[in-house]
Chain A
Amino acid sequence: MIYLTHYRTAATSNVELMEDAVYPQRVHWFPETYAKVKMGLTYPPHKLAEKVLDPALLKTLREQEVGKTAFILASGNAHFAGINQRKHDSKLSYDYKFLPLTLTQVYAGRVAQQCGAQDHVVTDASACASSLKVLMDVNTLMMHYGFARVIVLTVEDGVSNAVLQFFGESKAVLTAEEEETGVKPSAFDKQNRGFYVGQGAALAVFDNWLAINKTGDTPLAELCGAYTASEASTNAIGQLENGSGFIKAIEGVFEFSSVKPEDVRIVKTHGTGTISNNISELTALQSTLKSFVATSYKQRIGHTMGASGLLETLMLLEDMRSGVIPEIPNRTEDDEVFLSEPISPPTGAVLSLAAGMGNVYSAAIFKPL
């Protein structure tokens, strides 16, 4: 079995309007990660990652001898998406001088050594599904290749100039212009919809039972299974509204875990609140689960892109430990399934979903301990 033993998260409800973006829009961000970027000596994704790379935890991980240890950087893209395209100059524009570290595998190698992970170091570029997709890799490494520990770092700087322009062009985000019509960020709602882009990062440590016996660490949750699928679509930046990608991911995680559909009572949705995702994800959930409640975090912290799947899952597990499943913000209808009000957590397993451009759909199931 695979257990979550340590984690750190970085996300913010702080919102600021980026007026000088090509498509003016609000973002959830840590302004300090962009301090002095014009000098080219700081790189926002690294500054963001440092928020979860707790030196004390890393020292502990380095000193623990648990067995074969892997490190996965789920970065969403093969190089960090924020690298400046110079299409439009804004306060978010930068030109980082130290190019080797903009390559995600180089950065992964550097951080892995700080975590004591010396047996397997890889990166993942599965777009916005990246950090949930790698949980399938965690499962594979630990169940089939004898790894005792896998450390996952996920970070992507979605507020960058290039990302804001791309999402503005594709009408995926809620722009300032749309907000003037009274629309607020929400998901699965008839009136409100959409999200802002956000910065986020997470660090998670997964251990097997032998590792836990050596360290004495307390398991926080069990990772019961994870699966990633695709769907038959010719549109690599779209979603089929019949939910086939999500359905295949959900059915896959049930097939390769001991969890049954009726065991899942809580869903952390992908929850972008776009019209196509609302239809696709709702269709998939209603056709695969029995009785559940669902929430979304993107309206609280923004869409943190590659980091979103795992980061939001860890935030939900944290909220559940505090005795609450938060509502989906700005719902205009009473809804006891896609929650319009916070509730106390029911007993059961947690299903997390994520989707990414390039037709990638991921599902993971956790049991809180």
Chain B
Amino acid sequence: MIDFIKLFNATARISKPMHPDFDNAKSLEDKLQDIDVDSLDSLLIGLYLCELYGIPEDKGKELIPITVGDIHDFLMLHKTKEPESIEAAIEAIQ
């Protein structure tokens, strides 16, 4: 099973290309605003992750997360597929 925190950080690095060392998320309880993920970042990260978990764009727009865990829970609730690995996930969206 994929380490979601690692997947989140890897996706954030794509969403925030000027922060290639982003590794701020440590737990599902982390608030996005506390780990330098602003509202634009979270929209982009959500878009990428919804693609990876096979969630339609219209459904993805319902995601309004406060914490990393909010994103995780939304994906688990609506997913139609899962990435095989973090490497495969990044390869798919980068």
Contact = CB atoms under 8 A, between A and B. Distances in A.
Interface of A: 36, 39, 41-42, 46, 50, 53, 55, 58, 97-98, 100-101, 106, 110-111, 114
Interface in B35-59: 40, 43-44, 47-48, 51, 57
Contact of A97 (B20, B40, B47, B94): B47
B18 to A, nearest CB: 4
> In terms of DSSP, what is the predominant structure of the interface of chain A?
helix
A101 B17 CA distance: 14
B93 A97 contact: no
A100 B40 contact: yes
Contacts of A97: 47, 57
Contacts of A39: 51, 93
A105 B47 CA distance: 21
Lowest 10 CB-CB distances: which A-B pairs, in order?
A114-B18, A50-B17, A55-B18, A55-B20, A58-B18, A53-B18, A41-B93, A98-B47, A97-B47, A98-B44
17 contacts: A39-B51, A41-B51, A46-B17, A50-B17, A50-B18, A53-B17, A55-B17, A55-B18, A55-B19, A58-B18, A97-B57, A98-B43, A98-B47, A100-B43, A101-B40, A106-B40, A114-B19
Nearest to B91: A36
Nearest to B17: A50
Interface string B46-83: 01100100000100000000000000000000000000
A218 B57 CA distance: 49
Contacts of B20: 55
A98 B93 CA distance: 14
B10 to A, nearest CB: 14
Given A98-B43, A100-B43, 16 more contacts: A36-B93, A39-B51, A41-B47, A41-B93, A42-B94, A50-B18, A53-B17, A53-B18, A55-B19, A58-B18, A97-B47, A97-B57, A98-B44, A98-B47, A100-B40, A106-B40
Nearest to A40: B57
A105 B19 CA distance: 20
A100 B19 CA distance: 20
Contacts of A106: 40
Contacts, number: 33
A171 B28 CA distance: 56
A123 B13 CA distance: 26
Among A36, A39, A41, A101, chain B packs the most CB atoms within 10 A around the CB of A41
Contacts of B18: 50, 53, 55, 58, 111, 114
Nearest to B93: A41
A42 B43 CA distance: 14
A106 B40 CA distance: 10
A143 B51 CA distance: 48
Contacts of A98: 43-44, 47
Nearest to A115: B18
Nearest to A113: B38
A110 to B, nearest CB: 6
Contacts of B43: 98, 100
Nearest to A53: B18
A41 B48 contact: yes
Nearest to B16: A114
A46 B18 CA distance: 11
Nearest to A54: B18
Contacts of B47: 41, 97-98
A106 B38 CA distance: 13
Contacts of A55: 17-20
A106 B18 CA distance: 16
A106 B43 CA distance: 14
Nearest to A47: B17
A138 B21 CA distance: 32
A34 to B, nearest CB: 13
A53 B48 CA distance: 22
A288 B61 CA distance: 57
A304 B19 CA distance: 27
B93 A110 contact: no
A98 B20 CA distance: 21
